[in-house]
Amino acid sequence: MFIKRRLTSKGITFHLIRKAGGHSTCRKIPARTWREAREYLRMYEGELVQGRPVSLYLEEVMFTRLAKEYQEYSLSRKARSTHQKDGSVIKALLRELGDLNLGQITNLKVQEMQSKWSKEGSSNKTINNRSILLGTMLRFAIDRNYLANLPKISKLKVDKKRPQFYTEEEIARILTKASPFVRDYVLVLLHTGLREGELKRLKWADVDCINRQIYVELSKSHKFRTIPMNDALYDHLIDLYRRKKEHQVYVFELNEGKPVSDFSHRLKKLLKRLGIEGHLHKLRHTFASRLVQKGVAIYEVQKLLGHASVQTTQVYAHVRMEDLQRSVRVLDFGRTVGVPS
């Protein structure tokens, strides 16, 4: 058994090499110097001899410290809204893990924590969101040599719900009864499938009316994407541009230089008045569902929505299948043919 040093893109790492029965194993250890690595080896050998569980860490870093460092790290690397959502998830994790050091977060502890949340009424989706962020934070801890191994964090089964979309009649009522301002942004969402955050950040500098394209640079998947304009959207944006204020930066803004922040609230009030069930994100579902209904390939819909994986877009595939089922109903082979006597 010996220590081996490796030079990686993230710096120098130390690994414990064990050979037994003609086989060797290699495990990264939480050491930053040769001195720490040798100390880890001494501790490891001593605990093996005495039959005690082998420590997976040298420095007892508390989860509270990791949470603080991770939030500081992610502040400049995630969208503000995502960082705020992470904050609420981290609060839930701190209630369960705040008194523990990282080496005490074992497979069993994670399972017990998930079971407790489930008994308290948290949905599987909520539990998965917390578990995913915990895994991200612990991988961050490994990168900082606070932890050697990642505990197994299993995801719970979540039944995928079919996305709901507005009917043609509902869209007509919304556009007819909406205020001019609400109607303006509803039309943009129906023709682009933008997320609410993307709509808030949409600037006139991102709208290319010459090439008829909208550039979305801060999408959820952190990738640049382009949304082409159809004739209806092009005409609408030209009309909006003619009506904009002289120094207006965002496509939708109330105060000079500041984007609108209550798109959802405004639409929700209108929907309640009309007796229509829904929300702002349902407009995005409507955009995608209509494309699929019109026969647009699922991979093309994926690109327009900005999904990192086509698996996410597959939830809209049922819409096309329902259309195909209606199509084959016109066939009635054999039903008009008499039975031979």
Q: What topology does CATH give the domain 63-143?
A: DNA polymerase; domain 1 (1.10.150)
What's the 3-state SS for 246-285? CCCCECCEEECCEECCCHHHHHHHHHHHHCCCCCCHHHHH
**Would residue 284 show up in a list of annotated catalytic residues for this protein?**
yes
Closest CA to 123 of 150, 149, 156: 156
Compute the distance between CA of residue 148 and CA of residue 134 in angstroms, rounded to an integer: 15
Give catalytic status of residue 220 as yes or no.
Answer: yes
Task: Tell me, yes or no, if the pTM score tops 0.75.
Answer: no
From first to last of its 341 residues, the chain has per-residue pLDDT tens of 678 777 777 677 878 787 765 667 777 776 777 887 777 777 766 655 454 444 444 456 889 999 999 998 888 777 777 778 889 999 999 999 988 888 788 888 999 999 999 999 999 999 999 999 999 999 998 888 787 778 889 888 887 777 889 999 999 999 999 999 999 999 999 999 999 989 998 999 999 999 999 999 755 555 678 999 999 999 999 999 999 988 899 999 877 778 888 899 999 999 999 999 999 999 999 999 999 888 888 999 999 998 888 888 888 877 766 666 666 666 666 655 555 55
Dist. CA 305–CA 318, nearest whole Å: 17
Residues present in the chain in total: 341
pLDDT at 207 (0 to 100): 95
Which is nearest to 147 in space by CA: 108, 110, 106, 109? 106
Q: Which of 130, 200, 284, 320 is catalytic?
A: 284
Active-site entry in 195, 201, 282, 285: 195
Q: What is the pLDDT, as a whole number, of residue 332?
A: 62
DSSP of 67-113: HHHHHHHHHTTS-HHHHHHHHHHHHHHHHHHTT-BGGG--HHHHHHH
* Strand ordering across the sheet containing 11-20: 2-8, 11-20, 23-29
DSSP per-residue string spanning 149-172: SPPP-PPPP-PPPPPP---HHHHH
Structure tokens at 169: 């009649």
| Selected catalytic residue, list 109, 173, 220, 279 | 220
**Check: CATH 1.10.443.10 for 168-326?**
yes
What's the CA gap between 254 and 256, in Å, rounded?
7
279 is catalytic: no
Distance of CA 238 to the CA centre of its chain: 33
- Stated as kind and residue range, the H or E segment containing 235 is helix 231-243
Phi first, then psi: what are they for 144, rounded to 5°? -95, 10
Question: Among candidates 147, 99, 155, 100, which has minimal Cα distance to 131?
Answer: 155
For residue 57, the model assigns a pLDDT of: 46
Which has the closest alpha carbon to 227: 302, 324, 129, 165? 302
Amino acid at 278: G
Note the pLDDT of residue 53.
45
| Active site (annotated) includes residue 281 | yes
Domain boundaries, the chain: 2-50, 63-143, 168-326
259 — phi, psi (to 5°)?
Answer: -75, 160
pLDDT for residue 8: 76
**Burial, 191: exposed, middle or buried (Cβ in 10 Å; 0-12, 13-18, 19+)?**
buried
